Amino acid sequence: MNFSFKLFKGSTPEEKVLKKALANILGFIPGYMPYYVMALTHRSSAGDTLNNERLEFLGDAFIGSIVGEYLFKKYPTQNEGYLTEMRSKIVSRQSLNAVAIKMGLPKLVRYNKQDKVLGRSHIFGNAFEALVGAVYLDKGFETTNKFLKRKLIGTFLDIDELEQTEYNFKNRLYTWAQKNNYSLDFNTIWERFEAGRKIFNVGIYVNNQLFVAATGYAKKEASQTAAQKALEMLETQQDLVFRSLQDQAAAPEDDTEARQPDTADQTAAPRTTPEEAPSSQPGDTPPHTPGKKHPRNRSRKGSAGDDTAGNKLPESGEADKDQ
């Protein structure tokens, strides 16, 4: 194929080092190296015209089907809903990124290391999916099947432990809100381009108050990260959170202006608009928009693209964590 000449011209020292490292990870010696180089090349890598996104698409399909077959045979009495939930846990971005890190892929992936946002995102899990695609093109389905069942399921994932793990933080947070009779909304606060990629900042609003916010390269990713942070706050500061919500409920309603709450990062900095806000990374708190009005008493049906705001909850004082 044409791209082979762009990636490698003959056997080079770089190729030999990479082939040895991949052999340790895969459990077999790679054949056609350009597939693997492409799988480990993120689009942010300077000077590379080819990246791993197409192989990521291919690998994702095989991971889903092979994991599906494995679960079908492992749980012969479980229904479709259970199997679907288990597969979602295994192939989730958080899970695959953790597997990739355990494998040692961060040392092999080529990406723009000056972009600190990338190092904290899920690019290593994406590279793992691309690596699976490369294995399929190089060795065929049987080798891909054995590799996934031996490495992904047999070595780096504890299926029994995963069975007890809840990755859908949004669902857990919605359950908490319904149990306590609170309104809960996920809303996009801002979105912009940084380093050629679009970044989203999503806030969680409880009773129209901004509770916590997080950023990510997709709204879904940012929402899940924010939900995870919110659950962590509820576990560590539950009394403080409940007391603040009760105080808010007892306070007189001011319908003239819905105040956008400040966040922990804004205590020592002047307020700015989203357009004026400095560059941020996943997990940063949202920029302030003075005087912006928002609808009140929104239900769970609010979409991620709507803007809402309210009064201020206690600040966690903790830095955002990106999954």
Q: For residue 144, what pLDDT is reported?
A: 96
Which pLDDT belongs to residue 117? 65
Q: Examine the pLDDT at 19 and tell me if it is beyond 60.
A: yes
* Res 307 pLDDT > 70: no
Class of residue 182 by CB neighbours under 10 A (exposed 0-12, middle 13-18, buried 19+): middle
pLDDT attached to residue 146: 94
Candidate from 24-38, 243-257, 306-320 with smallest mean pLDDT = 306-320
Residues carrying an active site annotation: 60, 129
The domain limits of the chain are 3-163, 168-323
pLDDT at 210 over 60: yes
| Mean pLDDT score across all residues of the chain | 75
- How crowded is the C-beta side of 237, counted as CA atoms within 13 Å? 17
Reference 225, options 184, 260, 173, 267; nearest CA is 173
Measured distance CA(46)–CA(147) in Å, rounded: 31
The CATH fold of domain 3-163? Ribonuclease iii, N-terminal Endonuclease Domain; Chain A (1.10.1520)
The one-letter amino acid at 301: K
Per-residue pLDDT band at 253 (split at 50, 70, 90): low
Residue 294: pLDDT over 50: no
Q: What pLDDT was estimated at residue 22?
A: 94
Q: In percent, how much of the chain has pLDDT > 90?
A: 33
**Which pLDDT belongs to residue 76?**
94
DSSP states along 239-290: HHHHHHHHHHHHSPP--S--PPPP-GGGTTS----TTTPPP--TTPPPPP-T
* pLDDT tens digit sequence for 95-148: 898 899 999 998 999 887 777 666 667 889 999 999 999 999 999 999 999 999
CA atoms within 13 Å, Cβ hemisphere of 24: 10
Lowest mean pLDDT among 59-63, 160-164, 183-187, 312-316: 312-316
CATH code that applies to domain 168-323: 3.30.160.20
Single-letter amino acid code for the residue at 240: L
Position 291 scores a pLDDT of 38
* Amino acid (1-letter code) at residue 117: V
User: How far, CA to CA in Å, does 32 sit from each of 35, 136, 142?
Assistant: 6, 11, 17
